[in-house]
Amino acid sequence: MTILELIQAECRAKGINEKYAEKIQKIFKIEKEDGIGTYVSMFKDNLLSDIETAEKTKADAEKAAREAAIAEYEKAHNLKDGKPIEEGDAPEDKFKGLDPAIRQLIENQNKQLDDMKKLIEGNQKTIATTEKATKAKSLVSDAKLPESWLDRVNLDSEISLEDQVKALGDEYIKIQQTAIDEKVANGEYHVGSFQPKDRSEADWAKLMDSDVTPNNPGTVDLGLK
Protein backbone atom coordinates (compact mmCIF):
# COMPACT_ATOMS: atom_id res chain seq x y z
CA MET A 1 0.00 0.00 0.00
CA THR A 2 1.11 3.53 -0.64
CA ILE A 3 1.60 6.06 2.17
CA LEU A 4 -1.63 7.84 1.15
CA GLU A 5 -3.59 4.58 1.22
CA LEU A 6 -2.23 3.81 4.71
CA ILE A 7 -3.32 7.27 5.91
CA GLN A 8 -6.77 6.72 4.41
CA ALA A 9 -7.08 3.41 6.23
CA GLU A 10 -6.09 5.09 9.52
CA CYS A 11 -8.67 7.81 8.90
CA ARG A 12 -11.39 5.20 8.47
CA ALA A 13 -10.28 3.51 11.66
CA LYS A 14 -10.52 6.78 13.62
CA GLY A 15 -13.80 7.95 12.05
CA ILE A 16 -12.27 10.71 9.94
CA ASN A 17 -13.39 11.44 6.40
CA GLU A 18 -10.87 9.99 3.95
CA LYS A 19 -10.87 13.25 2.00
CA TYR A 20 -8.52 14.68 4.62
CA ALA A 21 -5.86 11.99 4.04
CA GLU A 22 -3.93 14.03 1.48
CA LYS A 23 -4.13 17.12 3.68
CA ILE A 24 -2.75 15.14 6.65
CA GLN A 25 0.15 13.88 4.55
CA LYS A 26 1.02 17.42 3.46
CA ILE A 27 0.64 19.00 6.91
CA PHE A 28 2.86 16.49 8.67
CA LYS A 29 5.06 15.76 5.64
CA ILE A 30 4.58 12.01 6.03
CA GLU A 31 6.96 10.03 3.86
CA LYS A 32 7.28 6.82 5.91
CA GLU A 33 4.83 4.33 7.39
CA ASP A 34 6.13 4.86 10.93
CA GLY A 35 3.96 7.10 13.12
CA ILE A 36 0.99 7.41 10.75
CA GLY A 37 -1.46 6.55 13.54
CA THR A 38 0.00 9.30 15.74
CA TYR A 39 -0.19 11.91 13.02
CA VAL A 40 -3.81 11.08 12.23
CA SER A 41 -4.72 11.33 15.92
CA MET A 42 -2.97 14.71 16.20
CA PHE A 43 -4.91 15.96 13.20
CA LYS A 44 -8.21 14.78 14.68
CA ASP A 45 -7.58 16.27 18.13
CA ASN A 46 -6.05 19.60 17.12
CA LEU A 47 -7.05 20.57 13.57
CA LEU A 48 -10.12 18.72 12.36
CA SER A 49 -12.66 20.78 14.29
CA ASP A 50 -11.30 24.11 13.03
CA ILE A 51 -11.09 22.85 9.44
CA GLU A 52 -14.66 21.54 9.49
CA THR A 53 -15.89 24.86 10.94
CA ALA A 54 -14.05 26.82 8.24
CA GLU A 55 -15.45 24.57 5.53
CA LYS A 56 -18.98 24.97 6.88
CA THR A 57 -18.59 28.76 7.05
CA LYS A 58 -17.30 28.82 3.49
CA ALA A 59 -20.12 26.59 2.27
CA ASP A 60 -22.71 28.77 4.06
CA ALA A 61 -21.18 31.90 2.55
CA GLU A 62 -21.18 30.41 -0.95
CA LYS A 63 -24.79 29.28 -0.56
CA ALA A 64 -25.81 32.69 0.73
CA ALA A 65 -23.93 34.34 -2.15
CA ARG A 66 -25.79 32.20 -4.68
CA GLU A 67 -29.11 32.96 -3.04
CA ALA A 68 -28.28 36.67 -2.90
CA ALA A 69 -27.33 36.65 -6.58
CA ILE A 70 -30.60 34.95 -7.46
CA ALA A 71 -32.51 37.42 -5.30
CA GLU A 72 -30.76 40.35 -6.98
CA TYR A 73 -31.58 39.00 -10.42
CA GLU A 74 -35.21 38.37 -9.51
CA LYS A 75 -35.48 41.85 -7.99
CA ALA A 76 -34.07 43.44 -11.15
CA HIS A 77 -36.51 41.50 -13.34
CA ASN A 78 -39.50 41.64 -10.96
CA LEU A 79 -39.49 37.88 -10.41
CA LYS A 80 -40.08 35.54 -7.49
CA ASP A 81 -39.12 31.87 -7.67
CA GLY A 82 -38.61 32.40 -11.38
CA LYS A 83 -42.12 33.76 -11.94
CA PRO A 84 -43.39 37.34 -12.41
CA ILE A 85 -44.40 38.96 -9.11
CA GLU A 86 -48.08 39.68 -8.78
CA GLU A 87 -49.03 43.22 -7.86
CA GLY A 88 -48.84 43.66 -4.10
CA ASP A 89 -46.27 40.89 -3.55
CA ALA A 90 -42.98 41.93 -1.99
CA PRO A 91 -39.70 40.15 -2.82
CA GLU A 92 -38.26 38.16 0.06
CA ASP A 93 -35.12 39.53 1.71
CA LYS A 94 -32.56 36.77 1.24
CA PHE A 95 -30.22 38.46 3.73
CA LYS A 96 -32.79 38.39 6.53
CA GLY A 97 -31.41 36.69 9.64
CA LEU A 98 -27.98 36.23 8.06
CA ASP A 99 -24.91 36.80 10.22
CA PRO A 100 -23.59 40.35 9.55
CA ALA A 101 -20.07 39.03 8.99
CA ILE A 102 -21.25 36.56 6.36
CA ARG A 103 -23.46 39.22 4.79
CA GLN A 104 -20.45 41.53 4.50
CA LEU A 105 -18.42 38.68 3.03
CA ILE A 106 -21.10 38.08 0.40
CA GLU A 107 -21.28 41.76 -0.50
CA ASN A 108 -17.49 41.93 -0.83
CA GLN A 109 -17.44 38.82 -3.02
CA ASN A 110 -20.18 40.22 -5.23
CA LYS A 111 -18.26 43.47 -5.63
CA GLN A 112 -15.05 41.62 -6.49
CA LEU A 113 -16.94 39.55 -9.07
CA ASP A 114 -18.44 42.70 -10.61
CA ASP A 115 -15.04 44.42 -10.72
CA MET A 116 -13.43 41.36 -12.29
CA LYS A 117 -16.24 41.08 -14.85
CA LYS A 118 -15.83 44.74 -15.83
CA LEU A 119 -12.05 44.33 -16.10
CA ILE A 120 -12.36 41.25 -18.30
CA GLU A 121 -14.98 42.91 -20.51
CA GLY A 122 -12.80 46.02 -20.80
CA ASN A 123 -9.74 43.98 -21.78
CA GLN A 124 -11.73 41.99 -24.32
CA LYS A 125 -13.10 45.18 -25.87
CA THR A 126 -9.61 46.72 -26.04
CA ILE A 127 -8.19 43.62 -27.72
CA ALA A 128 -11.08 43.49 -30.21
CA THR A 129 -10.69 47.20 -31.03
CA THR A 130 -6.94 46.83 -31.55
CA GLU A 131 -7.43 43.87 -33.87
CA LYS A 132 -10.04 45.79 -35.88
CA ALA A 133 -7.82 48.87 -36.11
CA THR A 134 -4.90 46.76 -37.37
CA LYS A 135 -7.09 45.06 -39.96
CA ALA A 136 -8.59 48.39 -41.08
CA LYS A 137 -5.13 49.89 -41.55
CA SER A 138 -4.08 46.93 -43.67
CA LEU A 139 -7.22 47.15 -45.82
CA VAL A 140 -6.77 50.89 -46.39
CA SER A 141 -3.12 50.36 -47.34
CA ASP A 142 -3.95 47.51 -49.74
CA ALA A 143 -6.62 49.69 -51.38
CA LYS A 144 -3.97 52.42 -51.84
CA LEU A 145 -6.15 54.98 -50.10
CA PRO A 146 -4.72 58.04 -48.33
CA GLU A 147 -3.59 57.05 -44.82
CA SER A 148 -5.69 59.88 -43.37
CA TRP A 149 -8.81 58.11 -44.64
CA LEU A 150 -8.30 55.48 -41.96
CA ASP A 151 -10.14 57.84 -39.62
CA ARG A 152 -13.22 57.41 -41.78
CA VAL A 153 -13.46 53.71 -40.98
CA ASN A 154 -15.93 53.14 -38.15
CA LEU A 155 -14.64 50.25 -36.06
CA ASP A 156 -17.93 49.98 -34.14
CA SER A 157 -20.16 49.94 -37.23
CA GLU A 158 -22.26 46.90 -38.07
CA ILE A 159 -20.98 47.26 -41.64
CA SER A 160 -17.92 45.06 -42.18
CA LEU A 161 -14.50 46.66 -42.50
CA GLU A 162 -14.14 45.21 -45.98
CA ASP A 163 -17.38 46.82 -47.18
CA GLN A 164 -16.46 50.17 -45.62
CA VAL A 165 -13.03 50.24 -47.28
CA LYS A 166 -14.55 49.15 -50.60
CA ALA A 167 -16.98 52.08 -50.44
CA LEU A 168 -14.10 54.44 -49.66
CA GLY A 169 -12.15 53.00 -52.59
CA ASP A 170 -15.07 53.60 -54.96
CA GLU A 171 -15.34 57.17 -53.66
CA TYR A 172 -11.61 57.74 -54.13
CA ILE A 173 -11.71 56.49 -57.72
CA LYS A 174 -14.70 58.74 -58.42
CA ILE A 175 -12.81 61.75 -57.03
CA GLN A 176 -9.78 60.96 -59.20
CA GLN A 177 -11.93 60.48 -62.31
CA THR A 178 -13.75 63.77 -61.66
CA ALA A 179 -10.41 65.58 -61.39
CA ILE A 180 -9.24 64.05 -64.69
CA ASP A 181 -12.50 64.96 -66.43
CA GLU A 182 -12.15 68.57 -65.25
CA LYS A 183 -8.57 68.77 -66.54
CA VAL A 184 -9.62 67.35 -69.91
CA ALA A 185 -12.50 69.83 -70.11
CA ASN A 186 -10.13 72.70 -69.31
CA GLY A 187 -7.51 71.57 -71.85
CA GLU A 188 -5.01 70.79 -69.10
CA TYR A 189 -4.87 67.07 -69.80
CA HIS A 190 -4.63 65.24 -73.15
CA VAL A 191 -5.04 61.59 -73.94
CA GLY A 192 -1.60 60.12 -74.47
CA SER A 193 -0.13 62.15 -71.64
CA PHE A 194 1.64 64.76 -73.82
CA GLN A 195 1.20 68.45 -74.42
CA PRO A 196 0.83 69.27 -78.16
CA LYS A 197 3.28 71.81 -79.44
CA ASP A 198 1.79 75.19 -80.32
CA ARG A 199 2.17 75.79 -84.07
CA SER A 200 1.34 78.74 -86.29
CA GLU A 201 -0.80 78.49 -89.42
CA ALA A 202 2.36 78.69 -91.50
CA ASP A 203 3.97 75.85 -89.54
CA TRP A 204 0.97 73.61 -90.11
CA ALA A 205 0.98 74.43 -93.83
CA LYS A 206 4.68 73.58 -94.05
CA LEU A 207 4.16 70.28 -92.24
CA MET A 208 1.28 69.34 -94.51
CA ASP A 209 3.33 70.10 -97.64
CA SER A 210 6.38 68.19 -96.38
CA ASP A 211 7.19 64.67 -97.56
CA VAL A 212 8.62 63.79 -94.12
CA THR A 213 6.49 63.20 -91.10
CA PRO A 214 8.45 64.56 -88.16
CA ASN A 215 8.58 62.50 -85.01
CA ASN A 216 7.32 65.32 -82.86
CA PRO A 217 4.58 65.38 -80.28
CA GLY A 218 1.43 66.92 -81.65
CA THR A 219 1.72 65.43 -85.16
CA VAL A 220 0.07 62.35 -86.57
CA ASP A 221 1.12 60.39 -89.64
CA LEU A 222 -2.09 59.98 -91.62
CA GLY A 223 -0.35 57.93 -94.31
CA LEU A 224 -1.25 60.40 -97.03
CA LYS A 225 1.24 60.71 -99.90
pLDDT digits (tens, 9 = 90+) for 46-96: 888 888 888 888 888 888 888 887 777 777 767 666 566 555 444 455 566
Which band of pLDDT confidence, cut at 50, 70 and 90, is reported for residue 201? Answer: low
pLDDT class of 221 with cuts at 50, 70, 90: very low
Per-residue pLDDT, averaged over 162-176, amounts to 91
State the pLDDT at residue 203: 64
User: Are residues 134 and 105 in contact, defined by beta-carbon separation less than 8 angstroms?
Assistant: no
How much is the pTM?
A: 0.35
**Closest among 117, 105, 120 to 68, alpha carbons compared:** 105
Q: Would you say residue 178 has pLDDT above 80?
A: yes
Is residue 4 within 8 Å of residue 18, measured between CB atoms?
no
- What is the mean pLDDT of the segment spanning 168-191? 82
Indicate whether 197 pLDDT > 80: no
- Band (pLDDT 50/70/90 cuts) for residue 163 is very high
- Out of 124-133, 161-170, 174-183, which region has the weakest mean confidence (pLDDT)? 124-133
9 pLDDT exceeds 90?
yes
